[in-house]
Structure 1
Amino acid sequence: MTVDERELDGAPGSIFSPPLRATSVGLLILVTLIAFEAMAVSAALPTAARAVHGLGAFGWAFTGFLLANVFGMVASGQLSDSRGPRLPVVAGLVCFVGGLLLSGTAVTMAQLVAGRVVQGLGSGLIITAIYVVIGEIYAEQFRPRLFGAMSSAWVVPSLLGPAISGALAQHASWRWVFLGLVPFSVVGGLLMIPVLRSLHAPSQPGGRSDRFRLVRATAVAVGIAALEQAGQHPSVLAGALGVGGIGLLAWGLRRLLPSGTFRVRPGVAAPVALRGLLAGAFFGVEATVPLSLSQQHGYGATIAGLPLALSGFSWAAGSWWQGRVDDSAAPQRRIALIRAGFVCLAAAAATMALASVPELPGWLAFPGWLIAGLGAGLTMSSVSVLLLNYTNDADRGADSAALQLSDATASALTTGVAGVLVAAATRGAISSTTGFVTLDLLMCGVAVTGVATAFRARAAAPVRG
């Protein structure tokens, strides 16, 4: 621990106690900015693309960000394990601010896309390094509260971000959606200076070294992009692209994820696997919630999107609640929270299947997706806490990157499935009701798998000499 634990003796159980205050505020500012960029910028991108005469390359503003983001996650983990988290945090901040400046001053679509790529790289570097900093600086009793606060930091950007972004683009200038984040990024970085100065390089290199690690990261990024493309525009060619994407993912993830991830092995592998199951089930259903309500029940855009807003509040509430759990004795209570979260998610997916039937009331989606947010809040923060509890100093960066990769990959797979089913319904191959219900029940099955395997999120058995 860099922050002397003696300074925390007798201090209140708060992440804002004097020894941690500046670091906590800095981290939360950075997370909020990343959340705003992820949730809000998309509302201004169409206006920006038209302004620089680049609508034909509009998709690259998202694909470029995605590719660079995944690459940045893995690079950050490797740098953190070999040289400490200071370099990836500083490099990530420089890239993030540089990308904002590039995008905000863009006069061509190439410059706008380049800015998005640099932003994606910076975001990936920062988010993995943040986990490493948390593991090094915060004692175990503080981590659940910090992850709860980080989840809450996503609520305002997810609720207000698109509206603010759209209003700036319409009534002021789309450039301020990017340039307006620069001062806040600088403030967040300045607050991190004291703790960054105290961080040192690890005393031993990471245990999961691989000279092809960044090549594998590139393969995973391209695989995720291929799956998203195949899901959005299903065809024979897209199917072949999706198969190729799965092949790239399999090759890349085989060494980027901890051994035993696909078997949900106790130790660091289990939280990584459970994070993927959670993200896959949640975002697989969420991708079609507004479409289902508008198409199956005739709801307007505002009402159809309201369940997503409700889930943001319940997600924050669930994450806050898990921060109250005492982990000092054993992980059983946290494992119980994870199981309860998956139960909530399974129930929510089943409820959404009912709400997708035109003959049944559409309002079922509102309590259903409120429960989904609660379950995600309980589970996502809890698996993050367990990962940092189970990992070691040498592999903290690689394991933190694996957690992010599991999330991104599973989300791409399940939203790709959602895209295929929606496209099949659009072509008339299946009814829209069949498409929505099939997706929701499949994701319910993913959540039930999480319920059945949550008990494996315990510490690995000690190796006998």
Structure 2
Amino acid sequence: MTVTAPPPPRERLLSPTYAATTIGMFALCAFVAFEATAVTTVMPTVADRLDGVGLYALSFAAPLASGVVGMVAAGGWSDRRGPALPLGVALVLFSLGLVVCGTAPTMEALVAGRVLQGLGGGAVTVCLYVLVGLVFPAALQPAVFASFAAAWVLPSLFGPALAAFVAHSVGWRWVFLGVVALVAIAAGLVAPALRRAPVTVADTPFPAGRLLWAVAAAGAVLGFELLGSRRGALLALAAAAFVVTVVALRRLLPTGALLGARGLPAVVATRGMLSASFFCAEAYIVFVLQEQWGQSPGQAGIALTIVGVVWAAASQVQSRLGARVSDTAAMVWGTALVLGGIVVLALVVAADLHPALAVASYVVAGAGMGFGYPRTGVAMLAASSATDRGFNSSALSIADSLGGAFALSASGIVYATATRAGADPFVPVFVLAAAFAVLGTLAAARTRMA
């Protein structure tokens, strides 16, 4: 009689082989996401304590801009030598940035720490993606990426309240410093997988030219805010920084992306403008709730939590609708919701209405992001081939990060100008965010592929 051996047990993310790696990678993603989003709750307090409200916008733009440099550098380095060493360097930079932020005596020092934090965080994300392909079988990879998505959602749900609690209990500095030890523990969980991962030495050239353009773009975006907030001759240098930003982006993005040319370039432009409009508003929603309506960091942070829930729910809705809603329609509706939400937010702030209306309008914008933002990735892949998929994927991430960074830098200039003029600085900031949303809506309408 023939005895049929039972099939081997199906591997799972939390099976003994992968459990430590899965938990460690999830934790690293969550820590990067926490420092990218949850600190929004305490940043108004930080700016006030360090007497650095003039650099408030730059503290958000800095990690977005430097993150692009980290992404490009880590991608090229990982392709040539594997992810182990670049991930180690990235974690050191990320942790060093947290320490600098947590011990910063001035706002200038904190911004420098945010630059290091973004540089390391951007590189960490890329290295983890590379590690997934080396360590996990194809059948488990979708589940790993789903866990990464959850790692970014959870900080938006619980991070604001946690950051506010930590700041109230032991001080805002521990919102940064408290994560350092946790990063070390998570890195220890991932280390065995890095040692097991096959090392492939590739002969492909390191993308030095692309890295230089990424550095130029990041530096120009940050310089634009620093110089544009000043007076006199420095304004001319701000114009020069703007020109450098445009030239660098032309090298990093598909041809026609800056003008929203029909098809793929418009998809990339839509992603950049969605990021620009929403994250410009996000940086100031907690600030205005505290300054104009006297809410505590914990109360104001509830807005971020609600938006995290609504964003995730809207993402699920667009996913379930699938092909019944085209990518172009989803992007148009998404950008329109972002535009409508931010316009109402500006009106609520200008008329000094109830803060609940400000939160509600911001939530509408979050629903637009959840509905339209994921489809930019779907549309990009649909328009790509095997020969340009990597470049287009990178371009979408670059547009995302630098779009948000540029908008935040511009908002810093607008805020400083309005403050000097004795006007309400929040209304023009939200009007600026709405203007980016208008551009996003126009670009979304041109995303239909020929």
- TM-score computed with the length of structure 1 as normaliser: 0.72
| 2:305 is the counterpart of 1:318 | no
2:403 pairs, out of 401, 407, 410, with: 410
Aligned residues between the structures: 434
Q: What residue is the counterpart of 1:229 in the other structure?
A: 226
Q: What residue is the counterpart of 2:35 in the other structure?
A: 37
Change (3 A) 1:381 1:130: farther
Whole-angstrom CA distance in 2 between matches of 1:15 and 1:265: 42
| 2:167 is the counterpart of 1:166 | yes
Deviations 1:366-418 (A, max 9, x none): 32211211222333344345556766778776555433331232123323443
8 Å CA contact 1:145–1:323 kept in 2: the answer is no
1:245 pairs, out of 220, 241, 244, with: 241
8 Å CA contact 1:31–1:154 kept in 2: the answer is no
Change (3 A) 1:344 1:425: same
8 Å CA contact 1:77–1:398 kept in 2: the answer is no
Whole-angstrom CA distance in 2 between matches of 1:11 and 1:132: 23
SS state at 1:235 partner: coil
Whole-angstrom CA distance in 1 between matches of 2:245 and 2:327: 30
Q: What residue is the counterpart of 1:255 in the other structure?
A: 251
Of 213-222 and 355-364, deviating more is 355-364
Change (3 A) 1:301 1:68: same
Please state how far the C-alpha of 1:145 moved relative to its aligned partner: 3.5
AA in 2 matched with 1:80 = S
8 Å CA contact 2:223–2:241 kept in 1: the answer is yes
Whole-angstrom CA distance in 2 between matches of 1:200 and 1:154: 33
Q: What residue is the counterpart of 1:3 in the other structure?
A: none
Whole-angstrom CA distance in 1 between matches of 2:22 and 2:387: 24
8 Å CA contact 1:151–1:377 kept in 2: the answer is no
Unaligned runs of 5+ in 2: 1-7
Whole-angstrom CA distance in 1 between matches of 2:241 and 2:132: 33
**Equivalent pairs: percent with the same residue?**
31
Aligned residue runs from structure 1 range 5-44, under 5 A: 23-39=21-37, 43=42
Change (3 A) 1:35 1:116: same
AA in 2 matched with 1:225 = L
Alignment root-mean-square deviation, CA: 4.7
Q: What residue is the counterpart of 2:155 in the other structure?
A: 154
Please state how far the C-alpha of 1:280 moved relative to its aligned partner: 0.9
| 2:277 is the counterpart of 1:278 | no
AA in 2 matched with 1:365 = A
Q: What residue is the counterpart of 2:4 in the other structure?
A: none
AA in 2 matched with 1:369 = Y
Whole-angstrom CA distance in 2 between matches of 1:433 and 1:179: 30
| 2:197 is the counterpart of 1:198 | yes
8 Å CA contact 1:349–1:440 kept in 2: the answer is yes
SS state at 2:445 partner: helix
Q: What residue is the counterpart of 2:412 in the other structure?
A: 419
Change (3 A) 1:191 1:322: farther
Q: What residue is the counterpart of 1:6 in the other structure?
A: none
Whole-angstrom CA distance in 2 between matches of 1:18 and 1:332: 41
Q: What residue is the counterpart of 2:5 in the other structure?
A: none
Whole-angstrom CA distance in 2 between matches of 1:241 and 1:357: 32
Of 278-287 and 106-115, deviating more is 106-115
Whole-angstrom CA distance in 2 between matches of 1:33 and 1:161: 13
8 Å CA contact 2:156–2:304 kept in 1: the answer is no
AA in 1 matched with 2:372 = T
Whole-angstrom CA distance in 2 between matches of 1:202 and 1:238: 47
AA in 1 matched with 2:180 = V
Q: What residue is the counterpart of 2:3 in the other structure?
A: none
Of 90-99 and 220-229, deviating more is 90-99
8 Å CA contact 2:270–2:444 kept in 1: the answer is no
SS state at 1:205 partner: coil
- TM-score computed with the length of structure 2 as normaliser: 0.74
8 Å CA contact 2:274–2:437 kept in 1: the answer is no
Aligned residue runs from structure 1 range 57-456, under 5 A: 62=59, 68-100=66-98, 118-133=116-131, 142=143, 145-146=146-147, 148-156=149-157, 158-167=159-168, 169-170=170-171, 174=173, 176-193=174-191, 196=194, 197-198=196-197, 200-201=199-200, 205=204, 210-230=207-227, 233-262=229-258, 264=260, 269=265, 271-290=267-286, 298-302=292-296, 306-321=302-317, 336-358=329-351, 363-384=356-377, 387=380, 399-428=392-421, 435=428, 438-439=431-432, 441-456=434-449
Whole-angstrom CA distance in 2 between matches of 1:40 and 1:125: 20
Whole-angstrom CA distance in 1 between matches of 2:435 and 2:121: 31
Whole-angstrom CA distance in 2 between matches of 1:108 and 1:419: 18
Of 216-225 and 190-199, deviating more is 190-199
Whole-angstrom CA distance in 2 between matches of 1:199 and 1:380: 34
Deviations 1:170-212 (A, max 9, x none): 3xx94x5444323422343344346543355486737xx7543
AA in 1 matched with 2:75 = G
Unaligned runs of 5+ in 1: 1-8
Whole-angstrom CA distance in 2 between matches of 1:64 and 1:421: 17
Please state how far the C-alpha of 1:278 moved relative to its aligned partner: 0.9
Whole-angstrom CA distance in 2 between matches of 1:104 and 1:291: 20
Deviations 1:93-120 (A, max 9, x none): 2333455467668899999887655434
AA in 2 matched with 1:275 = R
Whole-angstrom CA distance in 1 between matches of 2:318 and 2:10: 21
8 Å CA contact 1:28–1:153 kept in 2: the answer is no
AA in 1 matched with 2:167 = G
